[in-house]
A = this chain, B = another copy of it.
Amino acid sequence: MSIRIGIYGYGNLGRGVESAIAQNADMTLVGIFTRRDPSSVKTLTGAPVYAADTALSMKDEIDVMILCGGSATDLPEQTPALAAHFNVIDSFDTHARIPEHLENVDAAAKRGGKTAIISVGWDPGLFSLARAYASAVLPEGADYTFWGRGVSQGHSDAIRRIDGVLDARQYTVPIPSALDRVRSGEAPLLSAREKHTRECYVVAKEGADLSRIEKEIKEMPNYFADYDTTVTFISMEEMKEKHAALPHGGRVIRTGRTGLKGDHKHTIEYSLTLDSNPEFTSSVLVAYARAAYRLYEKEDVGCKTVLDIPPALLSPLSREELVKKLV
């Protein structure tokens, strides 16, 4: 029997989930739920589109609802609201607010007798797993997360809000010498500036004051002030031609020592190189949708994170096949 999936929110992530479902033979896409006028939405696969506020009327036709909204305002409201009625997956990625979100979703899911998995994707998500496994295995050590080279959508958006900016793309770039120091096992203390640089490509309005824009970017607190930032002004044509894609990636590195005197060094490195950040994140969401469905079938309800999920539940293979082929 196929796992019946609903998609709630239809931007880059929703489209990624739609195409990821087509790669998983044990899943069927029931429908896409949007706050826009459904008749205005054209889907990649011809999947039916419904108004978001009609979702509850389809609760018996959907095994897992995958939420594809944003972390700033959508998910903190939508995930608890839907978790009372559906098994749900989200990619909530505001790290500092994950404990609070977990609590809200857990209460709703338990009330409804449903299973939820939050903060699924690659960071949080696969990188959380990499940090957890590595720190359990090497308790005397230090870990480091580097991002990029890749497009940070949050930083790109922050630049777009500056007066005089028409479009912007920000690449987060790890500093090679910092990677080398970390991999060497010296366990350096690294400031934000020592780990990453930020490259900004900006299309400005004609006549805008470029030096003011550059200054506003470089001095923006939290986003840029703590980094070495470069700003390059380009034409709209160049933006469309060279910066249309959303590549990303990164790595989690943990180094540690074993032996009674700490005589032996070890390095664990988990790295991702992604042509499309939203499509890869979607693929992770879909694998965890399978796990949510299986947990629900075992009546294991409430809200989970990736750290709570046995890896075997992510795979379409049976336990026997997994043991034979992958262990």
Contact = CB atoms under 8 A, between A and B. Distances in A.
B95 A327 contact: yes
B284 A137 contact: yes
B326 A131 contact: yes
A59 to B, nearest CB: 26
Contacts of A269: 269-273
A307 B318 CA distance: 12
A76 to B, nearest CB: 16
A28 interface: no
Contacts of A319: 307-308
Contact of A133 (B45, B264, B311): B311
Given A276-B259, A309-B310, A128 B327 contact: yes
B307 A311 contact: yes
Contacts of A234: none
A319 B303 CA distance: 12
A279 B138 CA distance: 10
Given A137-B284, A139-B316, A282-B258, A305 B276 contact: no
A134 to B, nearest CB: 9
B310 A323 contact: no
Contacts of A138: 283
A158 interface: no
Interface residues of A, number: 70
Contacts of A320: 99
A316 B137 CA distance: 11
Contacts of A326: 128, 131-132, 135, 307
A42 interface: no
Contacts of A276: 258-259, 263-264, 266
A139 B290 CA distance: 13
A98 B260 CA distance: 32
Interface of A: 16, 19-20, 22-24, 44-45, 95, 98-99, 102, 119, 124, 126, 128-133, 135-140, 183, 258-260, 263-276, 279-280, 282-284, 287, 290, 305-312, 314-316, 319-320, 322-324, 326-327
19 contacts: A19-B258, A126-B133, A126-B137, A132-B311, A136-B316, A137-B283, A137-B287, A138-B283, A139-B316, A259-B279, A264-B275, A264-B276, A264-B280, A266-B274, A266-B276, A267-B274, A269-B272, A307-B326, A309-B311
